[in-house]
Amino acid sequence: MLEVRNLSMRFGGLLAVDQVSLDVNEHEIVSIIGPNGAGKTTVFNCISGFYSPTGGTIRFQGEEVQGKPDYKISRLGMVRTFQHVRLFNKMTVVENLLVAQHRHLNTNLFSGLLKTPNYRQREQKALDRAAYWLDRVGLLELANREAGNLAYGQQRRLEIARCMVTEPTMLMLDEPAAGLNPAETRDLNHLIVGLKEDYNVSVLLIEHDMSLVMEISDRINVINQGRPLASGTPEEVRQNDDVIKAYLGEA
């Protein structure tokens, strides 16, 4: 589904990402881990089109996407979250989910002014889908609150729901557990695995929380100082000497 080959990103004299390759197959949770400043988010930004990579190829659903603008890539079915929460804070919870479906319910202005049956029907469908996802992430009772007033963990879940209403095939989560307490992290675990199982989305994950990564990932890619260090199943990575060195330092 996603094929990254020899991805490089250079900022002036700094080679932030050097020859990174990774794959995400259908129905798979793949994680990128590595120490702080290893270039994980840069990899993310290249894939999602925030940066135009200086080298390498990125194929998504068979199409080369490197250097394409972010909104075009997102329309292919790849959505992402950011390290910090980026909700529309002054809109209500349900509006956040409705606005994410804007493209799917594109109708012209006049049908909106006249409230044609078609318009109503689509709006109702969007509302149903929003309600479904709010229920799924446990925020249904808070539907009419302003998103900015939610607790942090709730905002994180709302973000995931907002990604899911766009019906993606691949979800990219940048440190979704950052700032969550252990109980919330466990809930998030279940949620992510559930998304994969029930909705057939693939997940590409950046995470610091080792327990989360080890538990839910099908495969893990380790990056250190912009270079690929190891990749494989959680078990393989756990026993890899290079990984242990990078994380614990050399003895």
Partner 1 sequence: MQDLLYFLQQLINGLTIGSAYALIAIGYTMVYGIIGMINFAHGEIYMIGAYTALITITGLAALGIAWLPLILIVALICAVLVSSSMGWAVERVAYRPVRGRHRLIPLISAIGMSIFLQNYVHLAQGSRNIGFPALIQGGFQFGSPDSFQTSISYMQITIFITTLICMTALSLFISRSRTGRACRAVSQDLGMANLLGIDTNRIISATFIIGASLAAVAGLLLGMYYGSIDPLFGFIAGLKAFTAAVLGGIGSIPGAMLGGLILGVSESMTSGYLSGEYKDVVSFGLLILILLFKPTGLLGKPEVEKI
Query: Which residues lie near partner 1 (CB under 8 A)?
Result: 48, 70-71, 74-75, 79-80, 84, 86, 88-91, 95, 98-100, 102-105, 107, 109, 112-113, 123, 162, 166
**DSSP 8-state secondary structure symbol assigned to residue 142:** G
Cβ proximity to partner 1: between 21 and 116 the closer is: 116
Give the dihedral sign, CA 29/65/173/21: positive
Instruction: For the beta carbon of residue 130, count every other beta carbon within 10 angstroms.
Output: 24
Distance separating alpha carbons of residues 129 and 136, to the nearest angstrom: 10
| Residues recorded for the chain | 251
* Closest distance to partner 1 from the beta carbon of 251 (Å): 38
Cβ proximity to partner 1: between 27 and 72 the closer is: 72
* Closest distance to partner 1 from the beta carbon of 53 (Å): 18
Distance separating alpha carbons of residues 75 and 153, to the nearest angstrom: 27
* Closest distance to partner 1 from the beta carbon of 234 (Å): 30
* Closest distance to partner 1 from the beta carbon of 104 (Å): 8
CB 188, CB 157: distance < 8 Å: yes
Cβ proximity to partner 1: between 104 and 238 the closer is: 104
CB 97, CB 162: distance < 8 Å: yes
* Closest distance to partner 1 from the beta carbon of 88 (Å): 5
Cβ proximity to partner 1: between 88 and 132 the closer is: 88
Cross-strand bridge partners of residue 170: 78, 202
Label residue 35 left, alpha or beta by phi (over 0 means left) and psi (-120 to 50 means alpha): beta
Cβ proximity to partner 1: between 111 and 240 the closer is: 111
* Closest distance to partner 1 from the beta carbon of 78 (Å): 10
Burial class (CB in 10 A: 0-12, 13-18, 19+), 208: middle
Give the dihedral sign, CA 181/44/69/107: negative
Cβ proximity to partner 1: between 122 and 186 the closer is: 122
* Closest distance to partner 1 from the beta carbon of 231 (Å): 27
Cβ proximity to partner 1: between 50 and 247 the closer is: 50
